[in-house]
């Protein structure tokens, strides 16, 4: 009770204690991973980007990236990431613009759109087929589950595509060209001026004036056009790479290894005390088993003709082609070196195979196969085709063609499509497969994108086909070679640790290593860091850039990266540039010529003074004189191409006037206007209205969305959010 009394007397202490406890509780929440305070300083942890206040969540981005990666195995991780980012930005822009315009897309519209994509007449047929696919997926039929999920994904992705189409149609409906605009254009196309001019190329002027452009001048130009020169954060890298390539010794070992199959060999297994006798390739009784046992690649049992071999002759060594086209059955040729492998080739077998096949067919089409007059479903077509096959024979085939076939081209020839090469490219592959697997007189059924074909083999022209058995030994780096490669890379990495860029570059060049640089590289740079033609794997590019852009990686740092095939690359971080306006260094190549041309024009004007003349320009600057007629519409100068600035000056000056120096596309002009024709009276220019309108619509369609994106407020926090998760 005494304690309670003390507490009552010291209520201020209780308030303080409770306050501290509450503060601790609230503070714990305030600074938690998803707290409001933390979001203020670091952003929403569940968001990788934001466009005009519309969030792009981590889950949304990763899901889209996963789908894109699975569908595009040939793209690098950075290429996929950037493609997904661009697609999401475009998608959200379109959705926002469509919503403002009150546009929507119904499921029925999507079904109709998808039906057209699949070449079907209407949505009803597509719904039937997808319903069947869903049923098969629920029954667990192999492959149908993934196919159904792919369709659902494409269905959802179709909505923004349709919205974009609707939005662009709505916007372009507002494009109109008046007859007055058409008249102005016609006048510009017809009215001409005649001019004398003097011209000096920029290259010649640069020889006379050593114009230099400073970084400050480039920065000032960039600040005038900030939207065009906004830059992401970039890094400059230097690197030395050690590709995991076989040594000369590895090459010789592969050659020696394959040569042993030319003669019988005894292999001693000292561990199990077993001797294994390997017969020569030539004496092998079963080539497919021999190849499967001793080759680095599987046996291919296909028969091919020597005429077909000639199609690939340019891609193979001459002695290899000579053996394939002249050798006899049972003979072994080689070793031949093809790429990074050695081969022994045995002409295993020969047999007569079809070289060309004559056939006739009855086509039964259905909705979605391109024949818009047909209304039957695929199931109905299959029933009809089966009934025709059941009754077809050599005697009644022509009559059945005339009664049922829906191929007008062959129907008039009793169903005949003539002779077809066994490797023809201009025929449905399913049809060709049937031809290559059936004999003269046989009748059967196959299906292609055109419908069901009841096919009769009318004749076969045979030729000799050969089966080739290949023992292939890949030339790969030995463990000793890989170890030396890693040792060289590690030693270099240790030697340059903490060293300057000059030390890094000098040591690499002194050792004769593969040294190169990559400048102005963004986090999601889509080009390979190392030229793929070197054979170097680029699988570590994403890891390299994640390391380089990490806030703890400082300029001067270096790191060794190893790929799965044991390529080694040591990367040195030369410099980091924060997001903002592009640096002078990064845009010098683009901006410097613009500023040089401006300065050269100023130098010419300064020299020519207040009373310029063609003669003064020619005598002082070596300008070449000429003359031309020019219209405002095309702005073409004979022998020089289009020069809009010159055309503008020609129609802006009075006859007899001389211009100041004019900045042209390839050099500087000074012109004297001789005549300007009267503007013609245009009676009717309506024929130009549609042309101008279509050009405007096309330009609008191409530039509208990119323009909206450029003017949007976009935050890209992929680097901060995703890289942090993966570190």
Nearest to 631 by CA among 615, 654, 648, 608: 648
∠ CA 348-350-353, nearest 5°, is: 140
Q: Which of 29-43, 121-135, 165-179, 438-452 has the lowest mean pLDDT?
A: 29-43
Confidence of residue 727 (pLDDT cuts 50, 70, 90): low
Q: Tell me yes or no: is domain 247-476 CATH 3.10.50.40.
A: yes
In the chain, pLDDT over 70 holds for what percent of residues? Answer: 93
Q: Which residues contact 31 (CB under 8 A, 6 or more apart)?
A: 37, 38
Q: What is the DSSP code (8-state) at residue 119?
A: T
Q: How high is the pLDDT of residue 43?
A: 52
Q: How high is the pLDDT of residue 44?
A: 66
H/E stretch holding 325 reads helix 318-326
Strand partners, 332: 346
In the chain, pLDDT over 90 holds for what percent of residues? Answer: 70
Nearest to 658 by CA among 617, 629, 622, 620: 617
Q: What is the pLDDT of residues 577-635, one digit of tens each?
A: 999 999 998 899 999 999 999 999 999 999 999 999 999 999 999 999 999 999 999 99
Q: How high is the pLDDT of residue 13?
A: 35
Q: Which residues contact 173 (CB under 8 A, 6 or more apart)?
A: none
Q: How high is the pLDDT of residue 22?
A: 37
H/E stretch holding 502 reads helix 501-511
Q: What is the DSSP code (8-state) at residue 81?
A: H
Whole-number Å distance between alpha carbons of 708 and 704? 6
Whole-number Å distance between alpha carbons of 497 and 664? 51
Q: Say if residue 142's pLDDT is above 60.
A: yes
H/E stretch holding 254 reads helix 248-259
Nearest to 345 by CA among 256, 279, 267, 258: 258
Nearest to 511 by CA among 570, 584, 596: 570
Q: Say if residue 446's pLDDT is above 70.
A: yes
Over residues 309-320, mean pLDDT: 90
Q: What is the pLDDT of residues 145-169, one digit of tens each?
A: 888 888 888 898 898 889 999 999 9
Whole-number Å distance between alpha carbons of 56 and 47? 6
Nearest to 176 by CA among 696, 703, 702: 696
Q: How high is the pLDDT of residue 14?
A: 32
Whole-number Å distance between alpha carbons of 698 and 175? 11
Contact of 693 with 177, CB cutoff 8 Å: yes
Query: Where does residue 415 fall: left (phi above 0), alpha (psi -120 to 50 degrees), or beta otherwise?
Result: left
Nearest to 559 by CA among 132, 232, 241: 241
Q: How high is the pLDDT of residue 487?
A: 95
Over residues 60-64, mean pLDDT: 90
Q: Which residues contact 32 (CB under 8 A, 6 or more apart)?
A: 38
Contact of 414 with 398, CB cutoff 8 Å: yes
Q: Say if residue 61's pLDDT is above 80.
A: yes
DSSP labels, 203-247: HHHHHHS-----HHHHHHHHHHSGGGSEE--EEEEEEEEE--PPP
Q: How high is the pLDDT of residue 119?
A: 72
Whole-number Å distance between alpha carbons of 616 and 613? 5
Over residues 171-177, mean pLDDT: 92
Whole-number Å distance between alpha carbons of 323 and 316? 11
∠ CA 340-346-347, nearest 5°, is: 130
Q: How high is the pLDDT of residue 264?
A: 80
Summary mean pLDDT of the chain: 88
What are the CA-CA distances from residue 45 to residues 31, 49, 716, 722 (Å)? 13, 10, 13, 9
∠ CA 219-229-553, nearest 5°, is: 85
Q: What is the pLDDT of residues 481-502, one digit of tens each?
A: 999 999 999 999 999 998 999 9
DSSP E strand stretches across 384-536? 416-421, 443-448, 451-474, 514-522
Whole-number Å distance between alpha carbons of 132 and 136? 6
Confidence of residue 532 (pLDDT cuts 50, 70, 90): confident
Over residues 277-297, mean pLDDT: 94
Whole-number Å distance between alpha carbons of 669 and 662? 5
Question: What is the widest separation between alpha-carbon atoms in the chain?
Answer: 119
Q: Say if residue 538's pLDDT is above 90.
A: no
Confidence of residue 726 (pLDDT cuts 50, 70, 90): low
Over residues 543-564, mean pLDDT: 94
Q: Which residues of 615-652 are buried (b: 16+ CB within 10 A; e: fewer)?
A: ebbbeebebeebebebbbbebbbeebeebeebbebbbe
H/E stretch holding 570 reads strand 568-577
CATH of segment(s) 192-231+585-676 = 3.10.50
Q: What is the pLDDT of residues 640-679, one digit of tens each?
A: 999 999 999 999 999 999 999 999 999 999 999 999 999 9
**Quick check: helix, strand or coil at residue 428?**
coil
Q: Say if residue 718's pLDDT is above 50.
A: yes
Whole-number Å distance between alpha carbons of 122 and 212? 66
H/E stretch holding 49 reads strand 47-51
Question: Is the pTM here over 0.85, yes or no?
Answer: no
Rounded to 5 degrees, φ, ψ at 395 are: -75, -35
Taking the alpha carbons at both ends of the chain, their separation in whole angstroms is 58
DSSP labels, 65-94: HHHHHHH-TTS-HHHHHHHHHHHHHHHHHH
Q: Peptide bond preceding 447: is omega within 30 degrees of 0, i.e. cis?
A: no
Whole-number Å distance between alpha carbons of 141 and 19? 64
Whole-number Å distance between alpha carbons of 292 and 652? 82
Q: Say if residue 5's pLDDT is above 50.
A: no
Confidence of residue 692 (pLDDT cuts 50, 70, 90): very high
CATH of segment(s) 234-245+477-578 = 3.10.50
Nearest to 407 by CA among 441, 369, 458, 445: 369
């Amino acid at each position: 009770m005494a304690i309670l009394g003390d507490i009552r007397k010291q209520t201020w202490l209780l308030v303080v204690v409770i306050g501290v406890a509450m503060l601790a509780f609230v503070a714990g929440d305030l600074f938690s991973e998803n707290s409001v305070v933390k979001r203020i300083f670091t952003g929403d942890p569940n968001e990788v980007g934001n466009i005009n206040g519309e969030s792009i969540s981590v889950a949304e981005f990763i899901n889209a990236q996963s789908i894109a990666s699975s569908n595009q195995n040939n793209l690098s991780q950075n290429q996929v990431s950037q493609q997904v980012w661009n697609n999401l930005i475009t998608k959200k822009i379109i959705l926002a613009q469509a919503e403002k315009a009150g546009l929507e897309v119904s499921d029925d519209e999507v079904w109709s759109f998808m039906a057209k994509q699949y070449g079907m007449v209407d949505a009803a047929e597509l719904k039937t087929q997808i319903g069947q696919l869903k049923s098969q997926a629920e029954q667990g039929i192999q492959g149908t589950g993934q196919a159904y999920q792919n369709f659902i994904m494409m269905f959802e992705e179709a909505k923004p595509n349709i919205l974009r189409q609707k939005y662009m149609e709505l916007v372009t409906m507002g494009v109109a060209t008046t007859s007055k605009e058409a008249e102005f254009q016609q006048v510009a196309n017809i009215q001409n001026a005649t001019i004398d001019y003097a011209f000096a190329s920029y290259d010649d002027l640069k020889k006379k004036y050593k114009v230099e452009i400073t970084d400050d001048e480039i920065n000032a130009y960039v600040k005038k056009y900030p939207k065009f020169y906004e830059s992401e954060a970039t890094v400059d890298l230097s690197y030395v790479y050690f590709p995991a390539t076989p040594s000369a010794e590895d090459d010789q070992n592969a050659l020696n290894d394959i040569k042993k199959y030319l003669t019988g060999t005894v292999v001693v297994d000292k561990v199990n005390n077993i001797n294994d006798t390997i017969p020569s390739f030539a004496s092998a009784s079963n080539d497919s088993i021999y190849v499967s046992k001793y080759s680095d690649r599987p046996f291919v049992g296909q028969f091919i003709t020597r005429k077909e071999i000639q199609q690939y002759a340019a891609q193979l060594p001459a002695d290899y082609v000579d053996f394939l086209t002249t050798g006899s059955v049972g003979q072994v040729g080689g070793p031949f070196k093809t790429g990074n492998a050695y081969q022994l080739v045995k002409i295993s077998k020969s047999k007569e195979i079809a070289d060309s096949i004559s056939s006739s067919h009855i086509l039964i089409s259905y909705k979605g196969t391109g024949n818009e007059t047909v209304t039957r479903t695929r199931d109905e077509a299959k029933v009809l085709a089966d009934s025709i096959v059941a009754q077809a024979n050599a005697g009644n085939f022509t009559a059945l063609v005339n009664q049922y076939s829906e191929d007008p081209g062959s129907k008039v020839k009793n169903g005949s499509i003539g002779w077809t090469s066994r490797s023809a490219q201009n025929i449905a592959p399913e049809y060709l497969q049937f031809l290559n697997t059936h004999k003269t007189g046989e009748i059967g059924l196959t299906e292609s994108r055109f419908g069901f074909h009841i096919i009769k083999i009318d004749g076969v022209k045979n030729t000799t086909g050969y089966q080739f058995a290949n023992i292939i030994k890949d030339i790969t780096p030995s463990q000793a070679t890989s170890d030396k490669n890693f040792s060289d890379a590690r030693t270099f990495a240790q030697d340059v640790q903490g060293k300057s860029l000059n030390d890094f570059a000098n040591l690499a060049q002194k050792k004769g290593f593969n040294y190169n640089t990559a400048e102005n590289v963004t986090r999601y740079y889509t080009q390979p860091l190392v030229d793929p033609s070197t054979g170097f794997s680029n699988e570590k590019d994403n890891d390299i850039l994640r390391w380089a852009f990490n806030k703890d990686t400082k300029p001067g740092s270096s790191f060794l990266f190893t790929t799965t095939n044991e390529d080694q690359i040591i990367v040195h971080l030369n410099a980091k540039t924060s997001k903002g306006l592009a640096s002078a260094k990064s845009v010098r190549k683009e901006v410097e010529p613009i500023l040089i041309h401006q300065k050269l024009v100023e130098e010419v004007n300064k020299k020519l003074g207040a009373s310029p003349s063609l003669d003064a320009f020619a005598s002082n600057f070596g300008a070449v004189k000429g003359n031309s007629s020019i219209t405002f519409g095309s702005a073409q100068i004979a022998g020089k191409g289009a020069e809009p600035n010159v055309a503008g000056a020609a129609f802006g000056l009075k006859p007899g006037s001389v211009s100041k120096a004019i900045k042209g596309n390839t050099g500087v002009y000074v012109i004297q206007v001789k005549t300007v024709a009267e503007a013609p009276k245009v009676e009717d220019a309506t024929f130009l209205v549609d042309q101008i309108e279509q050009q405007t619509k096309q330009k609008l369609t191409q530039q509208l969305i990119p323009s909206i994106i450029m003017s949007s407020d976009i935050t890209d926090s992929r680097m901060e959010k995703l890289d942090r998760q993966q570190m």
